[in-house]
Amino acid sequence: MGWRSAIGRGVWLLVIVLMAIGATGCRDRNDWHQKLTVVVDTPSGQVSGSSVVEVKSWFGQIPPSTNEVSYKIRGEATVVEVLPGRYLFALLGGSKERYYWAVRDELPTQNRGKWLKLIPKMSTVAILEPKNHGYPMLVTFRDINDPKSVREVDPLNLSATFGPGVSLDEITLEITDEPVTEGQIGKLLGWWLKQAKDNRDPPAFGVPNQSPRGYTTVGILEFVRGIDWRQE
């Protein structure tokens, strides 16, 4: 291959990269902050916890990618101290379209490009339902300092985990101007975050379940996403 050919290929590569980078402006960008609040009834009264998460969305395809939409999440899992020293975590998985699923019957359109524009302006406080992507995964630790004590919590039967008289009252989700919540996870699970070495995650938790393997893994992105937790 002659040097003219090599330069020609290099120029084409550069043109393609610049076109791809420039094409990002062709997508519709819509961002919002959403606050997830978990309310739990306990024998000593009602307790609750909230966390504000930022959702960024880009709608529109840029060939050769076939993705219609991409999202970025920034925030932390919601934490509730259900009983002294016993915490309930509502994890981040599913955050990106949870508000849509909660309010979809109110929306005048099911066209994603259109409802993504509407969501940041909505004021509905949605009470989540267990079905249709409604509830986040809930976990707790029998001992907040013991990674092996993590357990999934049945949202319809909190008393099985936390004892008699404890039940989920409601989980709500609303659009808010409040800032993204930071620091709650670091306060409670700082010992875990510190286990991250070099560029790697802290070791994922093995949450027992009914799967063939007997447990599923829950990692850092379910607890903290888009926040520099390595400085916690």
125 scored as a contact of other proteins (CB under 8 A): no
Distance, CA of 26 to CA of 32 (rounded, Å): 20
112 scored as a contact of other proteins (CB under 8 A): no
Q: Which is nearer to other proteins, 147 or 203 (CB)?
A: 203
Smallest separation (angstroms) from other proteins to the CB of 182: 16
Closest CA to 111 of 181, 185, 60: 60
Number of residues that bind other proteins (CB under 8 A): 38
Q: Which is nearer to other proteins, 122 or 218 (CB)?
A: 218
Smallest separation (angstroms) from other proteins to the CB of 166: 25
Kindly give, in sequence order, each residue whose CB lies less than 8 Å from that of residue 12, ignoring residues fewer than 6 positions away.
none
Q: Which of 22, 43, 85, 163 binds other proteins (CB under 8 A)?
A: 22
**Sign of CA pseudo-dihedral 26, 28, 31, 36:** negative
17 scored as a contact of other proteins (CB under 8 A): yes
Distance, CA of 140 to CA of 148 (rounded, Å): 11
66 scored as a contact of other proteins (CB under 8 A): yes
Question: Strand runs (DSSP E) across the chain, as ranges?
Answer: 28-42, 45-59, 69-76, 78-83, 86-90, 126-127, 138-141, 150-152, 167-176, 205-208, 215-218, 224-225
Smallest separation (angstroms) from other proteins to the CB of 188: 18
31 scored as a contact of other proteins (CB under 8 A): no
Distance, CA of 153 to CA of 177 (rounded, Å): 30
194 scored as a contact of other proteins (CB under 8 A): no
Distance, CA of 229 to CA of 211 (rounded, Å): 30
209 scored as a contact of other proteins (CB under 8 A): yes
153 scored as a contact of other proteins (CB under 8 A): no
Rg (CA), the chain: 21
Residues that bind other proteins (CB under 8 A): 13, 16-17, 20-24, 62, 64-68, 70-72, 94, 97, 133, 199-201, 203-204, 209, 211-221, 225
